[in-house]
Structure 1
Amino acid sequence: MIVVDLFSGAGGLTEGFVREGFEIVAHVEKERWACETLKTRICFHYLKSRNDLDLYYEYIRRSNDYKNIAQDRQIIFDKYPELKEKVESEVLNKTFGDPKEDPGATAKEEIIRLIEKNLKGRKVDVIIGGPPCQAYSLIGRGRMGRAAREDKRNFLFYYYRDVVEYFKPEVFIFENVPGILSAHNGRIFEVIREEFDTIGYNILSGVDEKDPRKNIVNASDLGVYQNRKRVILFGTRNNLKYPDFKKYAVKLNEVQSTRNAISDLPFLQPGEGNDYFWGEYENNDIKNLSEFQKLMREDSIGILHHMARRHQDRDRRIYQRAIEKAKIGEQLKYKDIPEEDSTHRNKEDFEDRYKVHWWEDVPHTIVAHIGKDGHYNIHPDINQLRSLTVREAARIQSFPDNYKFEGPRTWQYVQVGNAVPPLMSQAIAKAVKEECFNNPKYRIRSED
């Protein structure tokens, strides 16, 4: 089953489909470092298929400067020269747009041509992806005000639609934030449905067809140790029912909590750790690990991206207060911060600025803002008084420990925060495979 991934990011949605046996022939992504992460992940899966993960581990150990990525990766390409051509052709570092208006953009016709080249005459079965969502989201609209109404990101789905129209996949998956259903008083979603209807696709937002606003999926229901609400739009030419994604989620016999997600990762003080390969696991006694931690450690030699930010003393004092509040089930409000540590006069807008991922709670949503500061993602250990590392955030997003995020730390955080959690995408992929391609009742036509 052949898949094209649009607006790929760091590959969280791709990861689930690869695990379920789909073949990804192309990723289209505008951000450079996300593209480098995609290339590295393709290398991982390629080497795993050849029982040669030791070579991937060697790359991990020696890769300690993002500026030397091409040089470091050469140890893989020297042994598998065909792999270099594969990653360069499949990962398309392109921005959808009109080159006449934006010199950095690439015309959709050129992107389609590059995808076709990878297909080699084969048919696309599934298109996946979610156009950038900031302008749809409630947070994004709150920060951007009127500018959100004119933000071109609101209309990137037209390029998604055009690619779907050209390749005519049997189904497509369009993942996005819940705000897409309410943006512009619901008009954005109405337009999306109308546009796909004109090219022969029925698009469903969930099981409740009368009130789409009720069709919100929580990633925690799909095996992810995180409260992360999303909309999964499902498009089909064959009047298929909306898949039962929850039915295919990984189910572990334990509580979904911050403790079970990250408690095995090494103790760090601010400024300690490593942005690249931290080292092998300190605790290899699986009896002391949660089921989730065991799952995250599969096919990994150790810990990547476990570097703690440096924090000002003022922030650490605030973090201590926030952790003490979290311990009794409360969240620190900005008005509770002493004047000497308060930096904003408008306390209402920053009321929920500080938030702890408390040990026994389901972690709250990781978003791209974690790349700017860690105040909304405070580690629960009062003896550490710091924000989450990239690896801790990645764990909460269900990225396995062998998943390497390329680029500077800020871009690592952004990639993690923007991603679809892999366990969520795996449940989606399995549902699509079983209910759309393997189910005799809804057997999809192999011909147009």
Structure 2
Amino acid sequence: MIVVDLFSGAGGLSEGFHKHDFKIAAHVEKEYWACETIKTRLFYHFLKAKNDLELYYEFLRVSDNYRNIEQTRALVFERYPELREKLEKEVLNRKFGNPHNDPTATSSTQMIQLIQNSLQYSRATSVDLIIGGPPCQAYSLVGRSRMKESVDKDSRNYLFQYYKRIVDEFKPKAFVFENVPGLLTAKKGKVYQEIKESFDQIGYTVLSGTSEEDKSNIIDFADFGVPQRRKRVILFGFQKNLNYEYPNFDRHKLSWDIPLTTRDVISDLPVVKPKQGHDLRLFEYDMSQGVDYLSPYELMMREDSIGFTNHFARPLKDRDAEIYQIAIKYATQGKQIKYNELPDRLKTHKNDKVFLDRFKVHRWDSIPHTVVAHISKDGHYNIHPDIDQCRSLTVREAARIQGFPDNYKFEGPRTAQFTQVGNAVPPVMSGVIARAVKEVICDQL
């Protein structure tokens, strides 16, 4: 089945569809480094299909500097020159918008032509499915509280109109629209109502779940095998005449023998202290201990991999290091430090009423908490549980919590890597979504 992925980010949503035999004809994403990450991931999928993962591993070994990304890709292009055109046609580094107001934007008409070119390259005559979720800050509770009055004027509230335009043009059987729960309540529910009405006008039914009460359809990805609490809404739209049912995600969820904890997810990764590790260099696994000590989740993360990248620990100020030690000690007792419980000498602001949980540890024996894009700004909400390491999570550790396999490399500077991971749909969940959607569509063929 042919898929177009809009607002792709680093490819977390499309990854699950790749894995379950959908053909992603085009990824549309405005952030440059996210697009470069998708391109590197296309190397992986292409070379795996060619039974040549050794070349992918060699590429990972030599590509340790994002400034030299084109030179290192030449290693792969030399053997498979056709990949150059594939990356160009299938990864569209474009931003939806009105070029008259924003010179960096691409109009819907231009975007449609680019996607048509991608389909032509893939020899696809139609689109079966469109996936993606417009940026969610304007819908999220935190985003709305920070933006205050300006949220009503934020153009991101209406990026779904571009999504609708693409759906209207290519007439897929269905579409999947992932977003934060605040989508259902933004502007007192008017945004979601407008979304449903807009798609209704072009012949599509939109469902937020199996319940008629939309707010009851918010799901927690942790219930489907993802090792973190992450509440989201998955809209499923389809051509009215097809009369599809909402996909049954429960039937395809990953089940673990015991509940996943932080220990099950990241404890096998090497110890690094602040300013240790490397952003892009490949760390090959130390196999001297065998694999018996690995959790089933860690084993899954290591499939088709010889190691991992993106494992550098941020520098840490002395004050923050002291706070982290206190927070980790609290966490070992099953408690979370509140900002107003810190010694006065460690506080940087006097407001003891808001953001009391700004320092938060991923406890060894609890499920990790939600990883979001704010991790790109600081690591205070994502503190590693090992007091001897006394640091925040690395990109790789955050990626593990998000369900990205170890052979998934994030390109660009570290801040861009963190943003890509924090914004992503966990591939573990996207695999669940892909299987459930495939079942719905194939049952009707």
TM-score range normalised by the length of the shorter chain: over 0.9
SS at match of 2:385: coil
**Matching residue of 2:148:** 145
| Contact kept in structure 1, 2:359 and 2:380, CA below 8 Å | yes
Counterpart AA for 1:53: L
| Contact kept in structure 2, 1:254 and 1:291, CA below 8 Å | no
Instruction: Give, in whole Å, the separation in 2 of the partners of 1:143 and 1:55.
Output: 46
Compute the displacement of 1:434 (Å): 1.3
Counterpart AA for 2:235: L
**Matching residue of 1:188:** 191
SS at match of 2:337: coil
Listed as ranges, the gaps of 5+ residues in structure 2 are: none
2:328 pairs, out of 323, 330, 335, with 323
Tell me which moved more, 41-50 or 317-326. Answer: 317-326
**Matching residue of 2:229:** 227
Tell me which moved more, 124-133 or 344-353. Answer: 344-353
| Contact kept in structure 1, 2:61 and 2:282, CA below 8 Å | no
| Contact kept in structure 2, 1:8 and 1:14, CA below 8 Å | yes
Instruction: Give, in whole Å, the separation in 1 of the partners of 2:175 and 2:244.
Output: 12
Compute the displacement of 1:376 (Å): 0.1
1:18-37 aligned at under 5 Å gives the runs: 18-37=18-37
Matched, 1:117 2:120: no
| Contact kept in structure 1, 2:316 and 2:391, CA below 8 Å | yes
Give aligned-pair identity as a percent. Answer: 56
Counterpart AA for 1:301: I
1:295-310 aligned at under 5 Å gives the runs: 295-310=300-315
**Matching residue of 2:47:** 47
1:44-443 aligned at under 5 Å gives the runs: 44-120=44-120, 122-209=125-212, 211-237=213-239, 238-283=242-287, 285-437=290-442, 439=443, 443=444
Compute the displacement of 1:270 (Å): 0.6
Compute the displacement of 1:347 (Å): 2.1
CA-based RMSD? 1.0
Instruction: Give, in whole Å, the separation in 2 of the partners of 1:279 and 1:19.
Output: 24
Instruction: Give, in whole Å, the separation in 1 of the partners of 2:247 and 2:193.
Output: 21
Counterpart AA for 1:395: R
| Contact kept in structure 2, 1:4 and 1:24, CA below 8 Å | yes
| Contact kept in structure 2, 1:8 and 1:29, CA below 8 Å | yes
Compute the displacement of 1:134 (Å): 0.5
Counterpart AA for 2:111: I
**Matching residue of 1:12:** 12
Instruction: Give, in whole Å, the separation in 1 of the partners of 2:423 and 2:349.
Output: 27
Counterpart AA for 1:96: F
Alignment deviations for residues 33-64 of structure 1 (CA, whole Å, 9 cap, x no partner): 00000111011100000011111111111111
Counterpart AA for 2:271: F
Compute the displacement of 1:251 (Å): 2.1
Instruction: Give, in whole Å, the separation in 2 of the partners of 1:418 and 1:270.
Output: 24
Instruction: Give, in whole Å, the separation in 2 of the partners of 1:198 and 1:236.
Output: 13
Instruction: Give, in whole Å, the separation in 1 of the partners of 2:131 and 2:249.
Output: 15
Alignment deviations for residues 71-90 of structure 1 (CA, whole Å, 9 cap, x no partner): 11111011101111001111
Alignment deviations for residues 203-255 of structure 1 (CA, whole Å, 9 cap, x no partner): 0001111x101111111122111111110000011221111112112223232
Compute the displacement of 1:345 (Å): 1.2
Compute the displacement of 1:330 (Å): 1.4
Listed as ranges, the gaps of 5+ residues in structure 1 are: none
| Contact kept in structure 2, 1:266 and 1:282, CA below 8 Å | no
Q: Give the ranges of 4+ consecutive aligned residues of structure 1 lying more than 3 Å apart after TM superposition.
A: none
SS at match of 1:3: strand
Q: Could you tell me the TM-score, scaled by structure 2's length?
A: 0.97
SS at match of 1:83: helix
Alignment deviations for residues 333-355 of structure 1 (CA, whole Å, 9 cap, x no partner): 00011111100111222211010
| Contact kept in structure 1, 2:325 and 2:387, CA below 8 Å | yes
Instruction: Give, in whole Å, the separation in 1 of the partners of 2:114 and 2:31.
Output: 18
Instruction: Give, in whole Å, the separation in 2 of the partners of 1:119 and 1:280.
Output: 37
Counterpart AA for 2:169: Y
| Contact kept in structure 2, 1:357 and 1:380, CA below 8 Å | yes
Counterpart AA for 2:244: L
Instruction: Give, in whole Å, the separation in 2 of the partners of 1:63 and 1:281.
Output: 17
Matched, 1:38 2:38: yes
Alignment deviations for residues 127-176 of structure 1 (CA, whole Å, 9 cap, x no partner): 00000000100010011111111110110000000100110100100000
Compute the displacement of 1:278 (Å): 4.4
